[in-house]
A and B are shown apart, each in its own frame.
Chain A
Amino acid sequence: MATATEERLEEIWGEEPGPVSWFTTGDHKRIGRRYIVTALVFFLLGGIEAAFMRWQLAQPGSTHLTPEQYDELFSMHGTTMIFLFITPLFTGLANYLVPLMIGTRDMAFPRLNAFSYWIFLGAGIFLYAGFVVGAAPNGGWFAYPPLTGPIFDPGINMDIWSLGLIFLSISTTAGAINLIVTILKLRAPGMSLARMPLYVWAMFVTAWMMVLAMPPLTYANVLLQLDRNLGTNFFDPTAGGDPLLWQHLFWLFGHPDVYIIFLPAVGIVSTVIPTFSRRPIVGYPYVALATVLTGIIAFGVWVHHMFATGLPSLGLTFFAAASMIITIPSGVQVFAWLATIVRGRRPAFTTPFLFAIGFIVVFVIGGVTGVMFASVPFDQGVTDSYFVVAHFHYVLFGGAVFPMFAGLHYWFPKITGRTYSETLGRWSFWLIFAGFNVTFFPMHIMGLLGMPRRVYTYSPDLGVEGLNLLSSVGAAVLTIGIALVAINAIKSLIAGSKATANPWGAATLEWATTSPPAHYGFASIPIVHGRDPLWEQPDLGSDLTLTHGREILGTTITDADPEEPLPMPEGSVLPLVTALGFAAVFVSLLVGSVPAALVSTLLTLGLIGAWTWTLGGVPG
Chain B
Amino acid sequence: MGEATVPTEQRPRQDRGALALAWFGILGAPAAWAAQLLLSDAFAEVGCEAGGFSSISLVLVVITLAALAVAVAAGVVAFVRLRQTRARDDDPARLERMRFMALCGCLSSALFVILIVLGGIVPHLVLSTCTPP
Q: What residues make up the interface of A, taking CB atoms closer than 8 Å to B?
A: 189-190, 192-195, 285-286, 288-289, 292-293, 296-297, 299-300, 303, 310-315, 317-319, 321-322, 324-325, 328-329, 527, 529, 542-544, 556, 558-559, 561-564
Q: List 14 A-B contacts (CB under 8 A).
A: A190-B4, A193-B101, A195-B93, A296-B34, A297-B30, A313-B131, A314-B48, A317-B119, A319-B41, A321-B119, A322-B115, A543-B1, A556-B11, A561-B5
User: A558-B97, A559-B93 are known contacts. Are A527 and B119 too (CB-CB below 8 A)?
Assistant: no
Question: In terms of DSSP, what is the predominant structure of the interface of chain B?
Answer: helix
Residues of B within 8 Å of A288, CB to CB, are: 100, 104
Shortest CB–CB separation between residue A595 and chain B, in angstroms?
43
Closest 6 CB pairs of A and B: A527-B2, A194-B100, A312-B48, A321-B119, A189-B4, A192-B97
Residues of A within 8 A of B107 (CB): 285-286, 289
Within 8 Å by CB of B108, from A193, A289, A312, A317, lies A289
CA distance A600 to B41 in the complex (A): 43
B56, CB-defined interface residue at 8 Å: yes
Task: Tell me which of A190, A296, A314 contacts B130 (CB under 8 A).
Answer: A314
Interface residues of B (CB under 8 A from A): 1-5, 7-8, 11, 19, 26, 30, 33-34, 37, 40-41, 44-45, 48-49, 53, 56, 60, 93-94, 96-97, 99-101, 103-104, 107-108, 111, 114-115, 118-120, 122-123, 127, 130-132
Asked if B7 contacts A563 (CB within 8 A), the reply is yes
Which chain A residues lie closer than 8 Å to B118 at the CB level?
321, 324-325
For A285, what are the chain B residues with a Cβ–Cβ distance below 8 Å?
100, 103-104, 107
Q: Which residue of B lies closest to A290 (CB)?
A: B107
Residues on the A chain within 8 Å of B130, using CB:
312-314
Name the residue of chain B whose CB is nearest to the CB of A296. Answer: B30
**CB < 8 Å: which of B1, B33, B44, B93 contacts A314?**
B44
Q: Which residues of B contact A543 (CB under 8 A)?
A: 1
Tell me whether A317 and B123 are in contact (CB under 8 A): yes
B94 touching A192 by the CB < 8 A rule? yes
Q: Which residue of A lies closest to B115 (CB)?
A: A325
* Distance in Å: Cβ of B1 to nearest Cβ of chain A: 7
Residues of chain A lying within 8 A (CB to CB) of residue B49: 312
| A136 → chain B closest CB, angstroms | 36
| Residues on A with beta carbons closer than 8 Å to the beta carbon of B48 | 312, 314-315
Chain B residue numbers with a CB within 8 Å of A313 are 127, 130-131
B96 — which chain A residues lie within 8 A by C-beta? 192, 194-195
Chain A residue at minimal CB-CB distance from B116: A321
Q: For the complex, what is the distance from the CA of A542 to the CA of B34, rounded to whole Å?
A: 44
- Since A325-B111, A328-B111 are in contact, a sample of 8 more A-B pairs with Cβ atoms closer than 8 Å, ordered by chain A residue number, is A193-B100, A289-B108, A310-B132, A317-B123, A318-B119, A542-B1, A559-B94, A561-B5
> CB-CB < 8 A to A315: which residues of B?
40-41, 44-45, 48
- Closest CB in chain A relative to B72 CB, distance in Å: 17
**B residues less than 8 Å from A325 (CB atoms):** 111, 114-115, 118
Whether the Cβ atoms of A312 and B132 lie closer than 8 Å is yes
Task: Decide if A558 touches B19 in the complex (CB within 8 Å).
Answer: yes
Please give, as numbers and ranges, the residues of chain B lying within 8 Å of A542 by CB-CB distance: 1-2, 4
Q: Kindly identify which residue among B2, B11, B115, B119 contacts A190, using a CB–CB cutoff of 8 Å.
A: B2
- B11 to chain A: which residues have CB within 8 Å? 556
A329-B131 Cα distance, complex, nearest whole Å: 32
